[in-house]
Amino acid sequence: MKTNYEIRYAAHPEDAKNYDTTRIRRDFLIEKVFVADEVNMVYSMYDRMIVGGANPVNETLKLEAIDPLKAPFFLTRREIGIFNAGGDGVVKAGGNTYELGYKEALYLGSGDREVFFESKDAKNPAKFYFNSTTAHRNYPDKKVTKADAVVAEMGSLAGSNHRNINKMLVNQVLPTCQLQMGMTELAEGSVWNTMPAHTHTRRMEAYFYFEVPEEHAVCHFMGKPDETRHIWMKGDQAALSPEWSIHSAAATHNYTFIWGMGGENLDYGDQDFYEITDLR
């Protein structure tokens, strides 16, 4: 197996508005989330969230404590949320084994133990997408499915944004320190998410897009509301969203995305909204 990581530093919004396409993609886009038999991650200085993916095909993969953590185990001072965006798989944490099917999630609290990722079928391997934030105490591990989620049906087909927001690893479902994660599924014929746009200066966010057909693409919008920028993305890619930035998208096909937040509070509704007509 192989573990790869990189560090992404935070950007001032006054600097970011001067970035060209190459710089925006370098700083905010995570292009390679899944590579066969590798664990890939980005250590972001936005609330020190780690965004990554593990794609076990022919090997069992270990969640290693990368050097920036300066810890004996990855979870020594961290919590993690894991979603399976591929075939059936298994996550082993300490002495416990969790089977995760497609679109099922797992929360692991902090504590010294090893974590391993496995696929049940190498021909249809699991794709474990994860977000990890720092944790001040341990909360119990828990598997969460869509049946456990708090679901908010929003938008309309007429507005091209009919979607179900599945709040899965959130404080209405289980206790966490600061991590909040969920999955938004857009209905056929709908392409817009998170409109009207908003920011939440108390939290940063990461978006992971999947169920995007190979011949289609997602246009992710970011930046301050009066200085927006965009990133063209493919399926199985992620974007970092600073606390000062909007986070929204439109695509050439309906899709699903996993959102994850870390920061000062756990209030999902703590958002500062902006009128669509005021965006620039």
Q: What is the pLDDT of residues 207-217, one digit of tens each?
A: 999 999 999 99
Please tell me the predicted confidence (pLDDT) of residue 269: 82
CB 197 within 8 A of CB 190: no
How much of the chain, in percent, has pLDDT values that exceed 90? 95
- Other Cβ atoms within 10 Å of 44 Cβ, number: 24
Q: Which of 76, 81, 82 is nearest to 94 (CA)?
A: 76
pLDDT tens, residue by residue, 250-266: 999 999 999 999 999 88
Average pLDDT on 161-183 reads 97
- Domains of the chain, start order: 2-278 (2.60.120.10)
Please tell me the predicted confidence (pLDDT) of residue 176: 98
CB 207 within 8 A of CB 266: no
List the beta bridge partners of residue 61.
117
- For the chain, helix (H) and strand (E) counts, in that order, are 2, 23
Please tell me the predicted confidence (pLDDT) of residue 259: 98
Residue reference for tokens 């999630």: 105
Query: Which segments within 176-236 are labelled E, that is strand?
Result: 180-186, 198-199, 203-210, 218-224, 227-233
pLDDT at 126 over 90: yes
DSSP string, 134-178: E-SS----EEE-GGGSEEEEE--TTTT--EEEEEEESTTTS--SS
Average pLDDT on 185-197 reads 96
Rounded CA separation 114/18 (Å)? 42
Rounded CA separation 148/166 (Å)? 9
pTM of the model: 0.97
Within the chain, residue ranges assigned H as helices are: 13-16, 21-28
pLDDT at 44 over 90: yes
Classify strands 256-263 and 203-210 as parallel, antiparallel or unpaired.
Answer: antiparallel
